[in-house]
Amino acid sequence: MSEPKENVLMEKIVSLCKRRGFVFQSSEIYGGINGFWDYGQLGAELKRNVKDAWWKTIVHHRDDVAGLEATIIMHPKIWEASGHVATFADPMSTCKHCKKLVRFDQVWEMIPENAWAQAIAEICPDGLVESPALLAWAKGKGKHLAPNLALVRNPEVTLSFLAARVDAPDATRLTTKELYQYLATEQVGATGLQTPCPHCGGELTAPRPFNLMFKSHYGPVESDDNVCYLRPETAQAIFAQFKNVHETARQKVPFGIGQMGKAFRNEVTPRNFIFRSREFEQMELEFFIKPDEAVEALAGSVAKASDNAWQGEPQADWGWEVWHKYWVEQRIRFYEGIGLTRDRFEEYWQKPEELAHYARACVDILYKFPFGTQELEGIAARGDFDLSQHEKHSGKPMGVFDEELRAAWGKLDEAKKASMRAKFVLGKTAAFLKKGADETEAAQQAEAEATVYFDKLAKGQYIPHVIEPSAGVDRLILALLADAYSELTTTDEKGKTETRVVMKFHPRIAPVKVGIFPLLKNKPELVAKAKEVRDLLRPHMTVFYDDGGAIGRRYARQDEAGTPFGLTIDFDTLGEKPELLDTVTLRDRDTQQQTRVAIKDLAGLLLPKVR
C-alpha cells in the first residue's frame, strides 16, 4: 500500500471529504462562505466519536474532573476581564491594489503557495538572479499571475534596484524572501523593501490590529449597552462558573472542569480547509491546582518535574510544573488511543520571551499536517491569572478555603516561610518588569502582592492556579483524515490495475463500525438473516446495511468510508455447510483477512474494539 505525496494529499482529502460526505463547504449552493464548513453524514459521526472519546477520557473516566456546558453568548464583561476585548487581535493588512485582506504575520507562509512566487523561485533558484528571464516573465505570464507586483508594473526600474543589490562589490547571496521583496519594490530608497501581497504581488498597507471576536447585540435595541460577543474560546465560561461547580460538585482542588463546544473567531485569512476556520469547536479542560507554596506547606516539598514524577499517578506533592508535564503526557496518550502515533507529534515549548506575562509555561502540541507541522493543541500553565481577573472584574471572590492548609501553615517554621516569600517576590518582580514597570515599581508591587498572598495562605485561602489543555475538534478531524488516508492498488486476473482509497480510522472513531452485506439481494433468506444481524448489532454500534452491487464494490465503498469491519451473510450462514450454520464472514479492513464468526459471538468480539 503506497502513501501519496504530501502536497497532493490535501487536495485528495478535500475531494474525498466532499465525495463521501465528510465535509462540505457551508452554504455551497450560494457559492459558499469563506471560513465555514459543514460536516456531512460520515463527518458528523466522526466528529461525534472524537468528542465522545475526549469527554469519556477527560470527564467520565476520572474522579477529579466535572463537565460543563455553558452558553455561547455570555456577559460582555467576561471578555473585558479575560483581556479579549483589549488584546484578542491579529495584525491585518490590506492590499492597496487587489483590496484583499491578509494576516500580516502569515504573509510569508502564504507567498510560496502562490503560482507567481513559485514561478519566480524556478527562474531564480537559490536566490541566483536571472534578470533577462525575469524580464521576459514580467512581460508575459507575470501579467496574469502577479499583475500588481512592482516587477510586472515597472520591470526595468525594479530590476535596476535588484541589479544594484546583487552587483555590489561586497554583495552577499540573496535569500528567496529578499528576492521577493526586491521584486515587490519600485523605489527601495524611498520606501524600503516592501512585502508583496500574496495574491497579486501588490503593495500592502501597514498592519493594524483587528479584533477577532464576532460582535452582536442582545435584545431588540442595538446600542453600546447591549453589545455581546460570540465566544472566541470555551474556557472563559469555566472560569466564570468555577465557584458554582466547585461548590455543587463537591470537588476539592486539585480538580478540573471540562467543556467542549463551538467557538468563533473572525479570522482574517481562514485557510487550510478546516484547520483555521471562523466557526469551529474546542475541547478544553481547566485543571485547577494548589499554588506551589500551599503544596509545600502541606506536603513538605514540591516534586520536581525532572524526576519524571508526571509519568505516574497524581500525588499530593505535585506543583504546577509536574501537573503541566502530566497533562502534556495525558493528552498525547489520548491521541495515541484514537490512532495517531507519537511520531506524528512534536512538542514546542514556548520560549520565556514568547509567553504571555501571566503564563509560566506553554507547550504547543504540533501535528505533522500535509501542509506542515502546525498546532493541534495548546497546553498552558496560566497561574491564577484567569480567576484573579474575574474576581477583580466581578467583585465576587474566586478563592477557596482549605482547612488542612491553615493548620499546616501554622506549623511551618519561619525560615521556610521567608524563603518561599523571597522566591515569590522574585517571580512577581520579573512579571511586573515584563509588563513594563520599572525596577522600583516592580519590586514594590511584588512586595505588596506577597503580603496579601501570604496573609491569605496563612488563613488557608488561595486562588487556584490552572493548567489548560485546549484542543481544536476540527484540527483533530483533519489530522485523523490525513492520518487515515491511504491508497490501495490492486491488479485483477486480466491485468487491470485499480487504485482506491482506504481510510484507516481507528475503530474507536470510525464513523461506521460495521458494514453488513447479504451476499445476494434477491435471496430473501439471505436478506432476512442479514437484517437480523444488523438489528442485533445496531443497539451497540453504528452499522451500515448494503445490498447493492458486487460484494467487492461494497467492500470498497466501506473501505473508503473507513469502516473497520465487514460482515457477509452467505449460504453457509443459512446452513449449506451445516457446521457453518449461523456464522458469518468477518472482514478486517486493514488486513483484508476474512474469518468465520458465530453470529452469537459478534457483539462480544466487536464491542471491545470499537468502544
Q: With left for phi above 0 and alpha for psi between -120 and 50, is residue 158 left, alpha or beta? A: alpha
Minimum CB–partner distance for residue 169 and ligand GAP (Å): 48
Nearest approach, Cβ of residue 159 and ligand GAP (Å): 40
- In angstroms, the CA 458 to CA 403 distance is 10
Given the complex with ligand GAP, which of 360 and 428 has the nearer CB atom? 360
Our CB check for ligand GAP shows the closer of 84 and 428 to be 84
Region at 495 (left for phi over 0; alpha for psi -120 to 50; beta for the rest): left
Separation between Cα atoms, residue 461 and residue 388, nearest integer Å: 13
470 lies in the site for ligand GAP, by CB under 6 A:
yes
CB 478, min distance to ligand GAP, A: 9
Place of cell 484578542: 88
Choice between 203 and 468, CB closer to ligand GAP: 468
The residue range among 94-102, 272-280, 351-359, 549-557 that interacts with ligand GAP, by the rule CB under 6 A, is 272-280
State which residue, 36 or 454, has the beta carbon closest to ligand GAP. 36
Distance, CA of 611 to chain centre? 23
Instruction: Please report how close the Cβ of residue 145 comes to ligand GAP at its closest, in angstroms.
Output: 29
Please state the closest distance from residue 244 (CB atom) to ligand GAP, in A: 20
284 is an interface residue for ligand GAP by CB under 6 A: yes
21 binds ligand GAP (CB under 6 A): no
Picking from 47, 484, 37, the residue whose alpha carbon sits closest to that of residue 271 is: 37
- Nearest residue (CB) to ligand GAP, 233 versus 559: 233
Q: Which three three-digit cell numbers place residue 436?
A: 513594563
Find the DSSP H helices in 370-485. 385-394, 403-411, 414-434, 439-458, 473-484
Spatial CB neighbours of 578, under 8 Å, sequence gap ≥ 6: none
Of 20, 153, 475, 508, which one interacts with ligand GAP (CB under 6 A)? 475
CB of 41 to ligand GAP, least distance (A): 22
Q: Which is nearer to ligand GAP, 482 or 569 (CB)?
A: 482
Residue 258 or 472 with smaller CB distance to ligand GAP: 472
Q: Which of residues 49, 282, 389, 429 is near ligand GAP by CB under 6 A? A: 282
Residue 582 is a binding residue for ligand GAP (CB under 6 A)? no
- Name the one range near ligand GAP by CB under 6 A: 277-285, 303-311, 511-519, 547-555: 277-285
Give residues 362-391 in contact with ligand GAP (rule: CB under 6 A).
375-378
Placement of cell 460495521 in the chain: 514
DSSP state at residue 73: B
Contacts of 273 by beta carbon, 8 Å cutoff, 6+ apart: 10, 13, 14, 17, 23, 37, 478
Min dist CB 286 to ligand GAP, Å, is 9
The answer to the question of residue 286 lying near ligand GAP (CB under 6 A) is no
The contact pattern for ligand GAP, residues 223-242, with x = CB under 6 A and - = no contact, is: ----------x-x-------
C-beta of 377 vs 547, nearer to ligand GAP: 377
Among 45, 90, 203, 267, binds ligand GAP (CB under 6 A): 267
Q: How far is Cα 536 from Cα 97, in angstroms, rounded to an integer? A: 64
Among 293, 474, 546, 570, binds ligand GAP (CB under 6 A): 474
Query: Measured from the CB of residue 276, what is the shortest distance to ligand GAP in angstroms?
Result: 4
Give which of 287, 288, 317 is closest to 302, Cα–Cα.
317
Residue with grid cell 515597472, as numbered in its chain: 154
Number of residues lying near ligand GAP (CB under 6 A): 19
Q: 461547580: which residue's cell? A: 245
CB atoms within 10 A of CB 124: 20
Q: How far is the CB of 239 from ligand GAP (least distance, A)?
A: 10
Quote the CA–CA distance of 330 and 62 in Å, as a whole number.
12
Separation of alpha carbons 545 and 523, rounded Å: 15
Cβ–Cβ < 8 Å for 599, 583: yes
Helix or strand (DSSP H, E) at 102: strand 101-103
Nearest approach, Cβ of residue 390 and ligand GAP (Å): 14
Dmax (CA) for the chain in angstroms is 92
Report DSSP letters for 112-124, one per residue: GGSHHHHHHHHHS
Which of 47, 199, 231, 265 is the binder for ligand GAP (CB under 6 A)? Answer: 265
- In total, the chain counts a number of residues equal to 611
Least CB distance to ligand GAP at residue 547 (A): 39
Distance (Å, whole) CA 483 – CA 367: 10
Task: Give the shortest CB-256-to-ligand GAP separation in angstroms.
Answer: 14
Least distance (Å) from ligand GAP to the CB of residue 426?
A: 28
**DSSP per position, 383-408:** TTHHHHHHHHHH-----EE-HHHHHH
Q: Which residue is nearest to ligand GAP (CB)?
A: 472
213 binds ligand GAP (CB under 6 A): no
Q: Write the CB contacts of 517 (distance below 8 Å, at least 6 apart in sequence).
A: 530, 546, 547, 551, 554, 555, 566, 567, 568, 569
Tell me the closest approach of the beta carbon of residue 86 to ligand GAP, in angstroms: 16
Angstrom distance (rounded) from CA 470 to CA 448: 33
CB of 393 to ligand GAP, least distance (A): 18
Q: Which three cell numbers stand for residue 345?
A: 507529534
User: What span, in angstroms and rounded, lies between the C-alpha atoms of 214 and 139?
Assistant: 43
* Cβ proximity to ligand GAP, 365 vs 561, nearer residue: 365
Q: Which stretch binds ligand GAP (CB under 6 A): 3-11, 79-87, 472-480, 498-506?
A: 472-480
Binds ligand GAP (CB under 6 A): choice among 471, 510, 516, 584: 471
Taking the CB of residue 401, how many other CB atoms lie within 10 A of it? 12
What residues line the site for ligand GAP (CB under 6 A)? Answer: 233, 235, 265, 267, 276-277, 280, 282, 284, 375-378, 468, 470-472, 474-475
